[in-house]
Amino acid sequence: MIELKGFYNLLIRGTDLTAEEQQYIENIYNEYGRDMLYSMVKGKKILPFAARTFANYGFDMDFWIEIQEDYRKRNSNILNCLEKVYQALRQFGVIKMFVSENFGALLSADEDISLFASGDVDNYADPAEKEKIYMAFDSIGFARQERFSGQHLIAAEFFPPENTDLPEGFYVSVDFYPLARLKLPCFIEADKFVDWDNLIKYKDTNVVLPPHEALMYICLLHISLHSFSRAPDIRLYIDLLNMNKTNMNYEVIRQWCIRDKTCTRAAAAASLSNMLVKTKIPDLITGLSKRKTYIEKIVYNRKHNDLIYEPKGLKVLRLETLCNDSGSLRGLKEILFPNRDWMKQVYGSSGLSAQLRHFIKVV
């Protein structure tokens, strides 16, 4: 069978494909057949993207258009759910919360609502407003499940009442510490780059989005938390593809990266995105760090234009140390010996016992 070289990347891009890329998709379609491709793209959780692309280029149009319409209806229901959520949040005086990452990037770019395949919607919120957020969700009948890093609350998941028109298992995720790492301290606080006074309402709804630069910054750094190629792998780069379509001030992001010492994280994510889905993020970002090349060698297959799925164990540790702008040794030290305040939050103390538990957790 024809080798899959960047095939999923092309399905995600979907538009502005070259004649050669279109021919490649046609060859794959003819070789593999509709049923096998359906199974493959469903497994990769990019079904609506594949449906859009195959329909656009005339392959079994009725079949794929129906799938597109199913996702459009599904995601319109999700948007309606979010409208109720944000209306309740507003009634309880919640100010510092917005839709982020995948769905946030889709709405920010005003992309086709069908192009969302996740089973949850991520939101970022100020932990100072936690109780008001909980009361808002309680008022509309959502069940709550809190998520901890050790003893430290980092997020909560809210499940809608039963018998709704939402996808089975769907929930709204509220992250209180943007870019929090489960085994390590959060390396940047939202207050440093989110202008809470200039959040954006999505069209004529109550749904709230962050400024474009803040969301692009979040998406760039979020990719690094997944070691650039861990699940959901290629779907991580959809966010950058969408955000790059907005009116973006990359100079602001560059300044944040330098200030926050996140240059390597952002440069590697942007460079990989340019290669994988042709985002054309400028050198202002991709040129921030030469260390990105070491990351690319670990996670990117240049011959196939694809991610090497998926780094585990020591490779994940290696990638995290490479992401430290101060050098790998400094990165390793900060991983093995986090700051005392975080140790106390997560393990209840910063003593020897807590340190040993941390070593076991991260190594």
Per residue in 36-49, pLDDT tens?
999 999 999 999 99
CATH of domain 75-210: 3.30.460
Task: Centre a 10 Å sphere on the Cβ of residue 324 and count the other Cβ atoms it contains.
Answer: 21
Residue intervals of the chain classified under CATH 3.30.460 are 75-210
Distance of alpha carbon 276 from alpha carbon 105, whole angstroms: 18
Closest CA to 158 of 169, 176, 168, 143: 143
CB 263 within 8 A of CB 289: yes
Distance of alpha carbon 61 from alpha carbon 22, whole angstroms: 16
Residues 6+ apart with CB under 8 A from 332: 317, 321
For 160-299, strand residue ranges (E) read 171-175, 200-201, 208-209
Q: What is the mean pLDDT of residues 88-101?
A: 97
CB 338 within 8 A of CB 358: yes
Q: What is the mean pLDDT of residues 302-310?
A: 90
- Report the pLDDT value the prediction gives residue 210, as an integer from 0 to 100: 97
Q: What is the mean pLDDT of residues 66-71?
A: 98
Sign, CA dihedral 302-305-306-307, equals positive
pLDDT band for position 312 (cuts 50, 70, 90): confident
Provide the residue count of the chain.
363
> In the block, which residue shows the tokens 């199974």?
39
pLDDT above 70 coverage of the chain, percent: 100
Per residue in 129-182, pLDDT tens?
999 999 999 999 999 999 998 888 999 999 999 878 999 999 999 999 888 876
The answer, yes or no, to whether residue 197 has pLDDT greater than 80, is yes
- Report the pLDDT value the prediction gives residue 288, as an integer from 0 to 100: 98
> In the block, which residue shows the tokens 């395949």?
117
Question: Mind spelling out the 3-state secondary structure of 71-110?
Answer: HHHHHHHHHHHHHHHHHHHHHCCCCCEEECHHHHHHHHCC
The answer, yes or no, to whether residue 101 has pLDDT greater than 80, is yes
Task: Centre a 10 Å sphere on the Cβ of residue 210 and count the other Cβ atoms it contains.
Answer: 26
pLDDT band for position 2 (cuts 50, 70, 90): confident
Task: Centre a 10 Å sphere on the Cβ of residue 191 and count the other Cβ atoms it contains.
Answer: 11
Distance of alpha carbon 342 from alpha carbon 215, whole angstroms: 25
Closest CA to 193 of 225, 173, 218: 218
The answer, yes or no, to whether residue 331 has pLDDT greater than 90, is no
Tokens of 319: 């990638």
Helical (H) or strand (E) element with 125: strand 120-125
CB 48 within 8 A of CB 117: yes
> Using alpha carbons only, what angle is made at residue 104 by residues 204 and 130, rounded to the nearest 5 degrees?
90
Tokens of 124: 């970022």
Q: Alpha carbon of 337 to those of 38, 150, 322: distances in Å?
A: 46, 16, 16
Distance of alpha carbon 328 from alpha carbon 193, whole angstroms: 25
Q: What is the mean pLDDT of residues 243-251?
A: 96
- Report the pLDDT value the prediction gives residue 180, as an integer from 0 to 100: 80
pTM of full prediction above 0.85? yes
Closest CA to 105 of 194, 233, 7, 236: 236
- Report the pLDDT value the prediction gives residue 309, as an integer from 0 to 100: 80
- Report the pLDDT value the prediction gives residue 170, as an integer from 0 to 100: 96
- Report the pLDDT value the prediction gives residue 152, as an integer from 0 to 100: 86
- Report the pLDDT value the prediction gives residue 51, as an integer from 0 to 100: 98
CB 150 within 8 A of CB 345: yes
| Beta pairing class for 152-159 and 143-149 | antiparallel
pLDDT band for position 3 (cuts 50, 70, 90): confident
The answer, yes or no, to whether residue 363 has pLDDT greater than 80, is no
Identify which has the larger pLDDT, 39 or 356: 39
Identify which has the larger pLDDT, 352 or 182: 352
Q: What is the mean pLDDT of residues 221-239?
A: 94
CB 44 within 8 A of CB 12: no
Burial bucket for residue 16 (CB in 10 Å: 0-12, 13-18, 19+): exposed
Closest CA to 210 of 229, 223, 191: 191
Average per-residue pLDDT for the chain? 94
Per residue in 251-283, pLDDT tens?
999 999 999 999 999 999 999 999 999 999 999
- Report the pLDDT value the prediction gives residue 4, as an integer from 0 to 100: 87
Residues 6+ apart with CB under 8 A from 280: 244, 274
- Report the pLDDT value the prediction gives residue 162, as an integer from 0 to 100: 86
